[in-house]
Amino acid sequence: MACAYLGLDCKVYMVKVSYEQKPFRREVMRTYGADVTPSPSETTEVGRKILAEHPGTTGSLGCAISEAVEVATHTPGYRYVLGSVLNQVLLHQSVIGLETKAALDKYGIKPDMIIGCAGGGSNLGGLIAPFMGEKLRGENDYRIIAVEPASCPSFTRGVFAYDFCDTGMICPLAKMYTLGSSFIPSANHAGGLRFHGMSSTLSQLYHDGYMEAVSVEQTSVFEAAEQFARIEGILPAPESSHAIRVAIDEALKCKETGEEKTILFGLTGTGYFDLVAYQKFNDGEMSDYIPTDEELKKSIDALPKV
């Protein structure tokens, strides 16, 4: 989701697949006065261009960013609100990691591994911030794992290169792990992770070997979400459930080897706005889609020549 706003009036460009799959999230915004448009749309020049190049597309965060930026830059008094990727957002999200670190320190607990979902990277970046600081300074060592959807594998199958942060190519270039700004992911249910690139800061850390990345398929993610809900009584968001999936997998490895490890993972949100996705899973209608090498090559080959 991307948003351009003026005072208390809010114009929201919501990724089309999320607009359709998360109707209650949409209606909450409308209840508070937001004007919500599914992206890409016919209301902006860049939206019309994307639709012409990708007829029938379900959109992506990159598309919504392009439309929101266009509206913000063409409407007096409007400002664009960014939700992920750039450093100021990671800094804002670092309150998650700082509070986590303070709580663990209070009880003398040191995690062996830290696991978080990764789309644009703001949530993961915020969670790992104080721990990564210790790791970089040589004060402590942690195994840090970024978990992304197999349908949008920026870290695990992308390239480290300069690219546009948005599909319409109107934002500045950033060096990051990317699948190419023209790549539009399949309509999976973790809308917050459907971004073609990754935070430049996290990309550099990954490139330098300070963290790992794995990709997981959405049916296995919802299996983990269901298990977690039945045991913990918390219905997790699909995005959060990517971290839960790998946390469970790592715990099972410890069970096999007999090792004792403290695993920290980020539970980033509840899934009560995602019941359409849970319905698809419970009815056996959910599927997995993994892009082919040919699909990725097409968008990666279109990267800017820098």
Q: Looking at the predicted structure, is the pLDDT value of residue 33 above 80?
A: yes
Could you report the per-residue pLDDT of 188-229, keeping only the tens digit for each? 887 789 899 999 999 999 999 999 999 999 999 999 999 999
CATH tag, 2-81: 3.40.50.1100
Q: Looking at the predicted structure, is the pLDDT value of residue 112 above 80?
A: yes
Helix, strand or coil, per DSSP, at residue 293 = helix
pLDDT at 220 (0 to 100): 97
Question: Which residue stretches of the chain are H helix?
Answer: 16-21, 23-31, 45-53, 61-74, 87-106, 122-137, 154-157, 200-207, 218-232, 238-257, 275-282, 293-300
Same fold, 2-81 and 87-300: yes
In the chain, the amino acid numbered 264 is L
User: Could you write out the DSSP letters of every residue in 185-208?
Assistant: ----S-GGG--SS--HHHHHHHHT
Q: What percentage of the chain reaches a pLDDT higher than 90?
A: 83
pTM of this prediction?
0.93
Q: Which residues make Cβ contacts (< 8 Å) with residue 89, sequence separation at least 6?
A: 82, 83, 122
Dmax over CA atoms of the chain, in Å, equals 62
Mean pLDDT of 141-149: 98
Q: Looking at the predicted structure, is the pLDDT value of residue 2 above 70?
A: no
Contact 219, 287 (CB under 8 A): yes
Exposed, middle or buried: residue 294 (CB in 10 Å: 0-12, 13-18, 19+)? exposed
Q: Looking at the predicted structure, is the pLDDT value of residue 187 above 60?
A: yes
Q: Which fold has domain 87-300?
A: Rossmann fold (3.40.50)
Mean pLDDT of 15-28: 91
Domain boundaries, the chain: 2-81, 87-300
Contact 145, 115 (CB under 8 A): yes
Question: Mean pLDDT across the chain, nearest whole number?
Answer: 93
Q: Looking at the predicted structure, is the pLDDT value of residue 4 above 60?
A: no
